[in-house]
């Protein structure tokens, strides 16, 4: 069955989650970040993800903005930066303006020109996602922004993936789901979507019951992929 609908995870897939720390490190106010911004960014992202899983398992949901702040606080303490409230606020402000990866705008434009549905399906809260999409100039190439806040639990819970069919009225096999998170691509594969893992870091495939059908180094090939 032909792909009619392309669904993208947001953070790490369309938007560079390291951009906030990298940009802050380039600003003269934060010279102490120059040597460890990458470590901070990696800690921040890892804790952000871990907290979504733990909150889903323990049924203690909080929106992604809270999880993002909690992850940053842990990361700043782990890197010896917890005594800098100005840096903390700057990093949080920058997270609302994350840069899209270079290939993303043209890739989405190609999908829309081909008549495909396009949307984000993300753990992010609606206001965070709207800010990132607007800042990156992607509003005209996305039909919708779907957030887990609609169902109150984080991915990879199946209720999150249900949102795609509810919004677009499509069958699972008509959906190409794209994520930079191996666990997310695996979960979506188990759900029944056709999946592409944007494996930007060249990591091994996760040892899970499901694997993505396609593994890519970035998103440039998505328009060709959906042509079949």
- DSSP codes of every residue in 85-106: HHHHHHHHHHHTTPPBPTTHHH
Same domain for 138 and 156, yes or no, is yes
Domain of residue 146 covers 5-15+100-226
Which residue, chain included where needed, has tokens 């960014």? 41
Q: How far is Cα of residue 74 from the mean position of the Cα atoms in its chain?
A: 20
- pTM for the whole structure: 0.96
Q: Are residues 37 and 137 in the same domain?
A: no
Rounded CA separation 14/30 (Å)? 27
Together in a domain, 171 and 68: no
CA 126, distance to chain mean position in Å, is 13
Q: Count H helices, E strands: the chain? A: 9, 6
Q: What is the pLDDT of residue 152?
A: 98
Q: State which of 66, 95, 124 marks the end of a domain.
A: 95
> Which tokens belong to 167?
């919004």
Q: At 6, give phi and psi (nearest 5°).
A: -110, 120
Task: Please give the pLDDT value at position 228.
Answer: 67
Burial class (CB in 10 A: 0-12, 13-18, 19+), 8: buried
Q: Are residues 39 and 138 in the same domain?
A: no
Note the pLDDT of residue 227: 86
Q: Please check whether residues 154 and 199 belong to one and the same domain.
A: yes
Per-run averaged pLDDT (10 residues), the chain, 228 residues: 95 96 96 96 97 98 98 97 95 94 97 97 96 94 98 98 98 98 97 98 95 97 91
The total domain count for the chain is 2
Same domain, 110 and 221: yes
Give yes or no: residues 165 and 129 share one domain. yes
Percentages of the chain per state (helix, strand, coil), in multiples of 5: 50, 15, 35
CB 194 within 8 A of CB 96: no
In this structure, the answer to whether residues 183 and 217 fall within a common structural domain is yes
pLDDT for res 1: 78
CB 94 within 8 A of CB 23: yes
Q: How far apart are CA 44 and CA 52, in angstroms?
A: 13
Decide which of 69, 95, 121 is a domain's last residue: 95
Q: Active-site residues: which are they?
A: 9
**Are 46 and 104 in a shared domain?**
no
* Residues 56 and 152 occupy one common structural domain: no
């Amino acid at each position: 069955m032909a792909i009619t609908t392309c669904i993208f995870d947001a953070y790490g897939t369309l938007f560079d989650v390291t951009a906030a720390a990298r940009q802050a490190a380039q600003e003269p106010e934060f010279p102490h970040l120059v040597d460890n911004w990458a470590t901070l960014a990696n800690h921040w992202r890892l804790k952000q993800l871990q907290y979504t899983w733990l909150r889903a398992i323990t049924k203690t949901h909080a929106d992604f903005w809270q999880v993002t702040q909690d992850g940053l606080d842990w990361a700043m303490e782990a890197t010896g930066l917890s005594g800098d409230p100005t840096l903390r606020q700057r990093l949080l402000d920058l997270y609302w303006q994350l840069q899209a990866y270079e290939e993303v705008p043209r890739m989405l434009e190609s999908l829309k020109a081909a008549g495909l549905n396009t949307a984000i399906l993300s753990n992010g809260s609606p206001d965070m996602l709207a800010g990132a999409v607007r800042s990156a100039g992607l509003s005209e190439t996305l039909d919708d922004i779907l957030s887990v806040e609609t169902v109150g639990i984080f991915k990879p819970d199946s209720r999150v993936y249900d949102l795609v069919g509810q919004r677009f009225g499509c069958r699972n096999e008509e959906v190409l789901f794209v994520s930079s998170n191996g666990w997310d691509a695996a979960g979506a594969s188990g759900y029944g979507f056709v999946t592409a893992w944007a494996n930007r870091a060249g990591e091994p495939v996760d040892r899970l019951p499901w694997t993505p059908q396609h593994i890519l180094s970035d998103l440039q090939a998505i328009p060709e992929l959906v042509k079949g």
